[in-house]
Protein backbone atom coordinates (compact mmCIF):
# COMPACT_ATOMS: atom_id res chain seq x y z
CA UNK A 1 0.00 0.00 0.00
CA UNK A 2 1.24 3.49 -0.68
CA UNK A 3 1.06 6.60 -2.84
CA UNK A 4 3.41 8.65 -5.01
CA UNK A 5 5.21 10.17 -2.02
CA UNK A 6 4.42 7.66 0.74
CA UNK A 7 5.32 4.00 1.12
CA UNK A 8 3.36 1.89 3.61
CA UNK A 9 4.13 -1.59 4.88
CA UNK A 10 2.65 -3.61 7.73
CA UNK A 11 4.17 -6.51 9.63
CA UNK A 12 1.69 -8.20 11.96
CA UNK A 13 0.14 -5.29 13.87
CA UNK A 14 2.95 -2.76 13.33
CA UNK A 15 2.69 -0.25 10.47
CA UNK A 16 5.50 1.72 8.82
CA UNK A 17 5.04 4.91 6.76
CA UNK A 18 8.12 6.03 4.83
CA UNK A 19 8.01 9.51 3.31
CA UNK A 20 9.61 9.05 -0.09
CA UNK A 21 10.35 12.34 -1.80
CA UNK A 22 14.13 12.44 -1.29
CA UNK A 23 14.83 14.71 -4.26
CA UNK A 24 12.96 17.46 -2.39
CA UNK A 25 14.24 16.35 1.05
CA UNK A 26 10.70 15.07 1.68
CA UNK A 27 9.32 18.63 1.73
CA UNK A 28 5.62 18.91 2.53
CA UNK A 29 3.22 20.09 -0.15
CA UNK A 30 -0.53 19.86 -0.74
CA UNK A 31 -0.10 16.55 -2.56
CA UNK A 32 1.65 15.07 0.48
CA UNK A 33 -1.18 16.09 2.80
CA UNK A 34 -3.89 14.72 0.50
CA UNK A 35 -1.96 11.46 0.07
CA UNK A 36 -1.47 11.15 3.84
CA UNK A 37 -5.20 11.69 4.37
CA UNK A 38 -5.96 8.88 1.92
CA UNK A 39 -3.41 6.59 3.57
CA UNK A 40 -4.77 7.36 7.04
CA UNK A 41 -8.25 6.37 5.82
CA UNK A 42 -6.87 2.88 5.17
CA UNK A 43 -4.70 2.71 8.27
CA UNK A 44 -7.64 3.61 10.51
CA UNK A 45 -9.45 0.49 9.23
CA UNK A 46 -6.58 -1.80 10.26
CA UNK A 47 -6.02 -3.11 13.76
CA UNK A 48 -2.58 -1.70 14.41
CA UNK A 49 -0.86 -1.78 17.75
CA UNK A 50 1.66 0.90 16.77
CA UNK A 51 2.78 2.96 13.77
CA UNK A 52 6.25 4.23 12.81
CA UNK A 53 6.81 7.24 10.53
CA UNK A 54 10.24 7.90 8.95
CA UNK A 55 11.81 9.51 5.90
CA UNK A 56 13.94 8.45 2.95
CA UNK A 57 17.41 9.87 2.38
CA UNK A 58 19.02 12.72 4.33
CA UNK A 59 15.80 14.14 5.74
CA UNK A 60 12.86 13.12 7.86
CA UNK A 61 11.08 16.16 6.44
CA UNK A 62 13.09 19.29 5.63
CA UNK A 63 10.08 21.62 5.86
CA UNK A 64 7.15 22.76 3.78
CA UNK A 65 7.55 23.23 0.04
CA UNK A 66 8.52 26.90 -0.30
CA UNK A 67 8.14 26.77 -4.08
CA UNK A 68 4.45 25.96 -3.62
CA UNK A 69 3.89 28.44 -0.79
CA UNK A 70 5.55 31.40 -2.50
CA UNK A 71 2.63 32.06 -4.84
CA UNK A 72 -0.13 31.67 -2.26
CA UNK A 73 -2.53 34.45 -1.34
CA UNK A 74 -3.35 34.92 2.37
CA UNK A 75 -6.59 32.99 1.80
CA UNK A 76 -4.76 30.12 0.10
CA UNK A 77 -2.14 30.11 2.85
CA UNK A 78 -4.86 29.69 5.48
CA UNK A 79 -6.35 26.75 3.56
CA UNK A 80 -2.87 25.18 3.36
CA UNK A 81 -2.30 25.75 7.08
CA UNK A 82 -5.63 24.19 7.98
CA UNK A 83 -4.99 21.23 5.67
CA UNK A 84 -1.65 20.52 7.34
CA UNK A 85 -3.08 20.95 10.84
CA UNK A 86 -5.97 18.59 10.09
CA UNK A 87 -3.61 15.86 8.85
CA UNK A 88 -1.27 16.21 11.82
CA UNK A 89 -4.26 16.21 14.18
CA UNK A 90 -5.42 12.94 12.59
CA UNK A 91 -2.00 11.40 13.25
CA UNK A 92 -2.06 12.64 16.84
CA UNK A 93 -5.58 11.28 17.37
CA UNK A 94 -4.94 7.77 16.02
CA UNK A 95 -6.01 5.29 18.71
CA UNK A 96 -2.59 3.61 18.84
CA UNK A 97 0.85 5.12 19.57
CA UNK A 98 2.74 6.71 16.69
CA UNK A 99 6.56 6.76 16.75
CA UNK A 100 8.55 9.26 14.69
CA UNK A 101 11.88 7.73 13.62
CA UNK A 102 13.72 10.93 12.75
CA UNK A 103 16.48 9.90 10.38
CA UNK A 104 17.75 13.34 9.33
CA UNK A 105 16.61 16.95 9.00
CA UNK A 106 13.34 17.70 10.81
CA UNK A 107 12.85 21.37 10.02
CA UNK A 108 9.77 23.58 9.97
CA UNK A 109 6.83 21.41 8.94
CA UNK A 110 9.04 18.37 9.46
CA UNK A 111 9.53 19.18 13.12
CA UNK A 112 5.80 19.88 13.35
CA UNK A 113 5.11 16.42 11.91
CA UNK A 114 7.47 14.82 14.42
CA UNK A 115 5.76 16.70 17.26
CA UNK A 116 2.31 15.37 16.37
CA UNK A 117 3.63 11.84 16.95
CA UNK A 118 3.48 10.34 20.43
CA UNK A 119 7.13 9.30 20.75
CA UNK A 120 10.16 10.75 18.96
CA UNK A 121 13.30 8.70 18.34
CA UNK A 122 16.21 10.37 16.56
CA UNK A 123 19.34 9.45 14.70
CA UNK A 124 22.43 11.03 16.25
CA UNK A 125 22.80 12.84 12.92
CA UNK A 126 19.29 14.33 12.99
CA UNK A 127 18.88 18.11 13.11
CA UNK A 128 15.85 20.03 14.39
CA UNK A 129 14.63 23.56 13.89
CA UNK A 130 11.76 25.95 13.23
CA UNK A 131 13.30 28.31 10.65
CA UNK A 132 10.09 30.06 9.60
CA UNK A 133 11.11 33.53 10.83
CA UNK A 134 14.01 33.40 8.37
CA UNK A 135 11.31 33.60 5.69
CA UNK A 136 9.22 36.19 7.47
CA UNK A 137 6.73 33.49 8.51
CA UNK A 138 5.67 31.53 11.59
CA UNK A 139 4.82 27.82 11.84
CA UNK A 140 1.45 27.00 10.27
CA UNK A 141 0.78 23.43 11.36
CA UNK A 142 0.41 23.97 15.15
CA UNK A 143 4.16 24.15 15.76
CA UNK A 144 3.91 27.08 18.16
CA UNK A 145 1.42 25.15 20.29
CA UNK A 146 2.95 21.68 20.29
CA UNK A 147 6.48 22.94 20.92
CA UNK A 148 5.47 24.97 23.98
CA UNK A 149 3.74 21.85 25.33
CA UNK A 150 6.66 19.50 24.66
CA UNK A 151 9.37 21.67 26.17
CA UNK A 152 9.51 24.86 28.21
CA UNK A 153 8.20 28.19 26.99
CA UNK A 154 11.76 29.50 27.04
CA UNK A 155 13.08 26.65 24.89
CA UNK A 156 10.18 27.01 22.48
CA UNK A 157 10.61 30.75 22.08
CA UNK A 158 14.37 30.32 21.68
CA UNK A 159 13.89 27.90 18.77
CA UNK A 160 11.00 29.82 17.21
CA UNK A 161 12.58 33.30 17.34
CA UNK A 162 16.23 32.49 16.53
CA UNK A 163 15.52 29.80 13.90
CA UNK A 164 18.60 28.01 15.28
CA UNK A 165 19.08 24.42 14.14
CA UNK A 166 19.88 22.06 17.00
CA UNK A 167 21.37 18.58 17.15
CA UNK A 168 19.54 15.47 18.34
CA UNK A 169 21.29 15.53 21.73
CA UNK A 170 20.10 19.09 22.34
CA UNK A 171 16.56 18.09 21.37
CA UNK A 172 16.86 15.20 23.83
CA UNK A 173 17.96 17.51 26.65
CA UNK A 174 14.97 19.77 25.90
CA UNK A 175 12.58 16.83 26.13
CA UNK A 176 11.59 17.05 22.47
CA UNK A 177 13.16 13.66 21.69
CA UNK A 178 12.87 10.57 23.91
CA UNK A 179 15.82 8.52 22.60
CA UNK A 180 18.86 9.11 20.39
CA UNK A 181 20.47 6.23 18.47
CA UNK A 182 23.38 5.77 16.11
CA UNK A 183 22.05 6.17 12.56
CA UNK A 184 22.40 2.50 11.63
CA UNK A 185 20.38 1.47 14.71
CA UNK A 186 17.48 3.92 14.43
CA UNK A 187 15.00 1.86 12.41
CA UNK A 188 15.81 -1.37 14.21
CA UNK A 189 15.20 0.29 17.57
CA UNK A 190 12.07 2.13 16.37
CA UNK A 191 10.50 -1.07 15.06
CA UNK A 192 11.55 -2.96 18.18
CA UNK A 193 9.81 -0.34 20.34
CA UNK A 194 6.72 -0.44 18.11
CA UNK A 195 6.56 -4.25 18.36
CA UNK A 196 6.97 -4.04 22.14
CA UNK A 197 4.09 -1.56 22.43
CA UNK A 198 1.96 -3.62 20.04
CA UNK A 199 2.44 -6.71 22.24
CA UNK A 200 0.70 -5.08 25.23
CA UNK A 201 -3.00 -5.04 25.97
CA UNK A 202 -4.45 -3.18 22.96
CA UNK A 203 -7.29 -1.56 24.87
CA UNK A 204 -5.03 -0.53 27.77
CA UNK A 205 -2.51 1.06 25.39
CA UNK A 206 -5.37 2.87 23.62
CA UNK A 207 -6.68 4.09 26.97
CA UNK A 208 -3.23 5.26 28.12
CA UNK A 209 -2.90 7.42 25.00
CA UNK A 210 -6.42 8.83 25.16
CA UNK A 211 -6.34 9.54 28.91
CA UNK A 212 -2.94 11.25 28.70
CA UNK A 213 -3.92 13.39 25.71
CA UNK A 214 -7.46 14.24 26.88
CA UNK A 215 -6.44 14.71 30.49
CA UNK A 216 -3.70 17.15 29.55
CA UNK A 217 -6.33 19.76 28.72
CA UNK A 218 -8.49 19.10 31.80
CA UNK A 219 -7.99 20.27 35.35
CA UNK A 220 -6.21 17.74 37.56
CA UNK A 221 -9.28 16.37 39.37
CA UNK A 222 -11.30 15.92 36.16
CA UNK A 223 -8.33 14.22 34.53
CA UNK A 224 -8.01 11.85 37.49
CA UNK A 225 -11.72 11.06 37.23
CA UNK A 226 -11.21 10.20 33.57
CA UNK A 227 -8.32 7.93 34.51
CA UNK A 228 -10.43 6.13 37.13
CA UNK A 229 -13.24 5.64 34.62
CA UNK A 230 -10.95 4.04 32.04
CA UNK A 231 -9.09 2.04 34.71
CA UNK A 232 -12.33 0.45 35.88
CA UNK A 233 -13.52 -0.31 32.32
CA UNK A 234 -10.54 -2.62 31.84
CA UNK A 235 -11.81 -4.90 34.59
CA UNK A 236 -14.53 -6.09 32.21
CA UNK A 237 -12.23 -8.05 29.90
CA UNK A 238 -8.63 -7.14 29.06
CA UNK A 239 -7.52 -6.43 32.60
CA UNK A 240 -9.10 -9.67 33.85
CA UNK A 241 -7.17 -11.65 31.25
CA UNK A 242 -3.92 -9.82 31.97
CA UNK A 243 -4.11 -10.36 35.73
CA UNK A 244 -5.19 -13.99 35.34
CA UNK A 245 -2.29 -14.65 32.96
CA UNK A 246 0.12 -13.07 35.44
CA UNK A 247 -1.10 -15.29 38.29
CA UNK A 248 -1.05 -18.37 36.04
CA UNK A 249 2.45 -17.45 34.80
CA UNK A 250 1.53 -17.47 31.11
CA UNK A 251 1.34 -14.98 28.29
CA UNK A 252 -1.98 -13.13 28.11
CA UNK A 253 -4.28 -13.84 25.17
CA UNK A 254 -5.35 -10.45 23.92
The residue annotated as part of the active site, out of 132, 184, 229, 238, is: 132
The residue annotated as part of the active site, out of 42, 44, 92, 112, is: 112
* Radius of gyration (C-alpha) of the chain in whole angstroms: 19
Q: Could you tell me how many residues make up the chain?
A: 254
DSSP per position, 191-225:
HHHHHHHHTS-HHHHHHHHHHHHHHHTS-HHHHHH
- Is residue 35 annotated as part of the catalytic site, yes or no? no
- Is residue 132 annotated as part of the catalytic site, yes or no? yes
Sheet holding 50-55, edge to edge: 6-11, 14-19, 50-55, 98-102, 119-123, 179-181
Helices (H), the chain: 30-43, 66-69, 74-92, 109-116, 143-150, 153-162, 168-173, 186-198, 202-216, 220-233, 238-247
Q: In whole angstroms, give the CA distance from residue 25 to residue 123.
A: 16
- Residues labelled as active-site residues: 112, 132
Amino acid sequence: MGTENLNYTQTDNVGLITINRPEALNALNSTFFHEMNTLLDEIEKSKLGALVITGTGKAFIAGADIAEMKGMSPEEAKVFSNLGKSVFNRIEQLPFPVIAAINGFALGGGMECAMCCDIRLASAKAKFGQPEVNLGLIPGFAGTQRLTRLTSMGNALYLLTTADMIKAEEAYIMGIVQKVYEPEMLMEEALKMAKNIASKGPKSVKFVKSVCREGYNLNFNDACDLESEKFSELFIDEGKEGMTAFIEKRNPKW
